[in-house]
Amino acid sequence: MHIHRLPPAALVLFCFPALAQHGLTKRDPVPSIPPVAYRLPAPPEARTFKFDVVEIHQGREVSGSPDFAVDCWGYRYLFSSKQNADAFLGDYQKYEVQLGGACAKMGPLSGRGATTIHTIHDGRLFTFASPSCKENFLKDPEARTDRPDPMPATTPESLARGQELLTLMLTSMGGAAKVDAMSSLRMEATTREKQGSKDYNHRRTWIASFPDKFRRDDDWDEYKYAMIVTPDFGVMAYSQVEDMHPQQRLALSRGLYHLPGVIARLRSRDDFIAVAAGAVTINETKAEKLTVWFDSTATTLAIDPASGKVLAAFFRDRGKGGAIGAIEMRSTDWRDVDGLTLPAAAEAWFNNERWEGGDLRPDTLAINDVSADLFTKPTPKE
C-alpha cells in the first residue's frame, strides 16, 4: 500500500471543497472529502461508484464519467454532470455510501460491500457483499439499519433518582474515586470458532483508554486485525491500514459504551444523562432500571438497590446473525480488579431469546495496564 504526501495546494483544496468546484474535469485535481494529509493516488477499482449516486437517489441508474469525479472516505464517485458533482460536494453525507461502505446486512464493522450491489433505503445508499446479503437486508431493512439511540425523557424526579442509582453503582464498584482513577480497561476472551472448513482460536481484546480512545483486536490464529479509534483518527489495521468512516468509529465505540465499568468512568461527559426508568426483576431479584445516554448511545442498567450491583444491561445493537435488536446481558460473575469490583461475565439474550453466541466470559479483565503505543496510528506497509 503506497501512501503519498499531498502537496500544499491539494491540502487547500481539501480544506475548502468549494474551491474544487471550478471545473471538475479530468484535467483538474479530483476533490477529496474529508480533508486529509495522506491518501492513495486513487481508490482501487472495486471502490469506484461508476453510477451517479445523485441520480440513484432519484430512482435513476445513470452512468458517471471520470470527467466528474469526487473522492470521499476511500471511495471514488463518478457523476454524469458537473451539477451532480457539485450537489455531492455541497452535501456529501446525503449521497455517500453508508457505514463506510461495509456490507449493510452485517454492519459497519464488517467487510466491504460491492459498489455494484446496492439499494436505497430511507433515503440512504447501502452496499452489500453479495446478492444474498442484499436479499436478506430487504426482507427487514429496519432490522439492519443502524440508528442513533434517542435521548431518554426526563423529569426532575427521574433525574434525581437516576443520580442516586448511579451513586449506588459507584459505591458497589469501590467508590467514585477509585473509578475515576481508572485510566484504562482491558478485556480478553478466547473462543474456538469454525470459519468455513477450518477451526480457529479466536482471541478478541477490547480496550478503553479513558476518556476517549477505544480499540478492538481480533486474532484468528496467525491472522490479526485491529480497529483503533481516537479523537484524531480511526483506522482498521490488518495487512493494510484503512481509515474508518465516522459511522464505523461510533460503532466500535458503542461496543464498549455498554459496559458498566466504561459507563461509570465516562459519567462526567458533558452529554451524559442518567435517569431512573422504573422497576425490573432479574432472576427473581427486584431491581431498578437506570438508563444512561451519551454520544447517541443508550444503555439501561438493572441496579440492585440493596447492593448497588449491576444485575443486567439492556441495549439495542447488532446481535444474532448481524441483525439489530434488543440485547440483554445478565451478569453472572463479578471480579475484584485492583480494588474495583466489576461485572466479569454475562449471559446474553437477543430479542428475548437465549443467545449463547453473545455470552461474555473474559479470561482477562484488567485496568491501568494499557500502553499509549496501542493508540499510535499504524504505519501502512510499503
**How do residues 228-265 score in pLDDT, each as one tens digit?**
999 999 999 988 888 999 999 999 999 999 999 999 99
Residue 61 in grid coordinates:
441508474
What does the pLDDT average to over 350-362? 94
Whether 149 maps to a domain, the answer reads: no
Please determine, for residue 21, whether its predicted confidence score (pLDDT) is greater than 60: no
State the Cα–Cα distance between residues 280 and 312, nearest whole angstrom: 10
Of 112, 144, 176, which closes a domain? Answer: 144
Which amino acid type is present at position 65? S
Task: Looking at the structure, tell me whether residues 114 and 181 fall in a common domain.
Answer: no
In terms of pLDDT, which residue wins out, 375 or 31? 375
Whether 381 maps to a domain, the answer reads: no
Its domain, for residue 332, covers 156-375
pLDDT tens digits, residue range 39-68?
A: 445 677 889 999 999 999 999 999 999 999
Which amino acid type is present at position 231? P
Q: Which pLDDT band holds residue 118 (cuts at 50, 70, 90)?
A: very high
Task: Looking at the structure, tell me whether residues 208 and 333 fall in a common domain.
Answer: yes
The DSSP bridge partners found for residue 342 are 335
Please state the domain count of the chain.
Answer: 2
Residue 332 in grid coordinates:
453472572
Task: Looking at the structure, tell me whether residues 66 and 203 fall in a common domain.
Answer: no
Whether 151 maps to a domain, the answer reads: no
Task: Looking at the structure, tell me whether residues 199 and 65 fall in a common domain.
Answer: no
Average pLDDT for the chain? 88
Whether 150 maps to a domain, the answer reads: no
Of 93, 113, 144, which closes a domain? Answer: 144
Of 111, 144, 177, which closes a domain? Answer: 144
State the Cα–Cα distance between residues 307 and 59, nearest whole angstrom: 57
Whether 382 maps to a domain, the answer reads: no
Q: What is the CATH number of the domain that holds 184?
A: 2.50.20
What does the pLDDT average to over 121-147? 95
Task: Looking at the structure, tell me whether residues 345 and 207 fall in a common domain.
Answer: yes
Please determine, for residue 11, whether its predicted confidence score (pLDDT) is greater than 60: no
State the Cα–Cα distance between residues 107 and 143, nearest whole angstrom: 11
Task: Looking at the structure, tell me whether residues 127 and 181 fall in a common domain.
Answer: no
Nearest to 262 by CA among 309, 208, 305, 312: 208
Q: Which pLDDT band holds residue 381 (cuts at 50, 70, 90)?
A: low
Task: Looking at the structure, tell me whether residues 77 and 178 fall in a common domain.
Answer: no
At 18 the pLDDT is 32
Task: Looking at the structure, tell me whether residues 138 and 168 fall in a common domain.
Answer: no
Task: Looking at the structure, tell me whether residues 24 and 140 fall in a common domain.
Answer: yes
Q: Which pLDDT band holds residue 283 (cuts at 50, 70, 90)?
A: very high
Task: Looking at the structure, tell me whether residues 337 and 197 fall in a common domain.
Answer: yes
Strand order in the sheet with 75-79: 32-33, 65-72, 75-79, 48-49
At 2 the pLDDT is 33
Task: Looking at the structure, tell me whether residues 342 and 214 fall in a common domain.
Answer: yes
Nearest to 275 by CA among 161, 171, 168, 169: 161
In terms of pLDDT, which residue wins out, 225 or 222? 225
At 33 the pLDDT is 61
Beta-carbon neighbour count of residue 196 at 10 Å? Answer: 6
State the Cα–Cα distance between residues 198 and 103, nearest whole angstrom: 23
Per-residue HEC secondary structure of the chain comes to CCCEECCHHHHHHHHCHHHHHHCCCCCCCCCEECCCCEECCCCCHHHEECECHHHHCCCCCCECEEEEEEEECCEEEEECCHHHHHHHHHCHHHHCEHHHHEECCCCCCCCECEEEEEEEECCEEEEECCHHHHHHHHHCHHHHCCCCCCCCCCCHHHHHHHHHHHHHHHHHHCCHHHHHCCCEEEEEEEEEEEECCEEEEEEEEEEEECCCEEEEEEEECCEEEEEEECCCCEEEECCCEEECCHHHHHHHHHHHHCCHHHHHHCCCCCCCEEEEEEEEEECCEEEEEEEEEECCEEEEEEECCCCCCEEEEEEEEECHHHCEEEEEEEEEEEEEECCEEEEEEEEEEECCEECHHHCECCCEEEECCCCHHHHCCCCCCC
Q: Which pLDDT band holds residue 38 (cuts at 50, 70, 90)?
A: very low
State the Cα–Cα distance between residues 341 and 156, nearest whole angstrom: 30
| Percentage above 70 pLDDT, the chain | 88
At 280 the pLDDT is 97
Task: Looking at the structure, tell me whether residues 201 and 58 fall in a common domain.
Answer: no
pLDDT tens digits, residue range 190-209?
A: 988 777 788 889 999 999 99
